[in-house]
Amino acid sequence: MSTPIRRDAVENRAGILTAATAAIGHDPRASIDTIARGAGLSRRALYGHFDDRNAIVREVIAAGAARFNAIAAGIDDADSRVALARLASELWREAAHVQAAAALALDDAHLAETSAALAPLRRRIDQIVRRGQEAGELRTDLPAPTLSRLLEETGRTVVARVDAESSTAREIAVCAVLGIAGLSWTEARALLVLHPDLEMS
**For 154-194, what is each residue's pLDDT tens digit?**
887 887 777 767 778 888 889 999 999 999 999 999 999 99
Collect all residues with Cβ–Cβ distance below 8 Å to 94 and sequence separation of at least 6.
Answer: 64, 67, 68, 71
Collect all residues with Cβ–Cβ distance below 8 Å to 100 and sequence separation of at least 6.
Answer: 20, 21, 22, 24, 25, 60, 64
Model's pTM, two decimal places? Answer: 0.81
Collect all residues with Cβ–Cβ distance below 8 Å to 26 and sequence separation of at least 6.
Answer: 99, 103
DSSP 166: S
**For 97-120, what is each residue's pLDDT tens digit?**
777 777 776 667 777 888 888 899
- Pick the closest to residue 65 from 117, 11, 2, 5 (CA basis): 117
